[in-house]
Amino acid sequence: MSEQMPVLYLSHGAPPLADDRLWTAELAAVSAGMKRPTAILIVSAHWEAAPLTLGATETVPLLYDFWGFPERYYQVTYDAPGAPELASQVRKLLHSPATPVYDDPSRGLDHGAYVPLKEMYPDADTPVLQVSMPTLDPAELFRIGQKLAPLREQGVLIVGSGFTTHNLREMNLGAAADAPAPAWSIEFDEWTKRMLEAQDVDSLIDFLHKAPAANIAHPRTEHFAPLFVTLGASEDNLRSADTVVDGFWYGLSKRSWKIG
């Protein structure tokens, strides 16, 4: 049996993350500091589908789910092997008459998956399976993470990929990427950090009512939602949560955690 893998929550960035030397170096350091996974299971803010759906288990083209960027970002490739064995295990852990699991064999990795993975595992030689978020309900996503937790014992790296604060309308793209962040982003980021340090899962699940500036930090919650899969999969290790990326990018919090 493989050593239990940690669990990650990553603020994944847009395609230009590849041009940010600090951020890419931080992501590379995260993977370098861990045992190599047998496979990667990733939940991205950019795939909502109910019932829960498994992406391609064979290598298929990436999903360039963004618009208006220079052509070079649409030429990026990441031909990671599919993970049919992992998909079979996920079905067994999650499938029930009340919660069926579907397959979408043509869906490639979206940018919430391949953008950070390309920096962490540039050789693309580790099998990757992406699964959808069937809901944005934090409690339900936490339960899904709990059910997936046994995969860690098999060396599977479970990744929630979102953004700790995410309000594109409030971004100031006319300023420098590292310009001072607005108060709402700083307050929400600091609150989330404190709650995780306190292992206060209940407050995190109720973040829309408990966190400062929650509705500004997340006008829609899909980028915070993957955190709850991460928390569920690592609930026995929350005391070990470690910030592996921090700071802000055009005012959005890049904070990312390794747990376990």
What's the structural domain count of the chain? Answer: 1
H helix runs in the chain, sequence order:
21-32, 84-94, 111-120, 138-148, 183-197, 201-205, 207-210, 214-217, 226-233
Give mean pLDDT, residues 201-206: 98
The CA-based angle 185-162-174, given to 5 degrees, is 50
**Confidence check: pLDDT of 248 > 90:** yes
Largest CA distance in the chain: 51
Q: Average per-residue pLDDT in the chain?
A: 96
**Confidence check: pLDDT of 99 > 90:** no
User: Could you tell me if residue 125 is inside a domain?
Assistant: yes
User: Could you tell me if residue 160 is inside a domain?
Assistant: yes
pLDDT at 148: 98
**Confidence check: pLDDT of 206 > 80:** yes
pLDDT at 97: 85
User: Could you tell me if residue 245 is inside a domain?
Assistant: yes
pLDDT at 1: 44
Could you tell me the pTM of the whole model?
0.97
User: Could you tell me if residue 1 is inside a domain?
Assistant: no
Give mean pLDDT, residues 73-89: 97
User: Could you tell me if residue 77 is inside a domain?
Assistant: yes
**Confidence check: pLDDT of 2 > 70:** no
User: Could you tell me if residue 234 is inside a domain?
Assistant: yes
- Which of 136-145, 166-175, 234-243 has the weakest average pLDDT? 166-175
pLDDT at 192: 98
User: Could you tell me if residue 2 is inside a domain?
Assistant: no
What is the C-alpha to C-alpha distance for residues 145 and 147, in angstroms, rounded to an integer?
5
Among 107, 109, 137, CA closest to 226: 137
Residue 182, amino acid = P
**Structural domain harbouring 98:** 7-259
pLDDT at 82: 97
Tokens matching residue 50: 């109910």
Give mean pLDDT, residues 49-57: 97
Give the CATH number for residue 69: 3.40.830.10
User: Could you tell me if residue 171 is inside a domain?
Assistant: yes
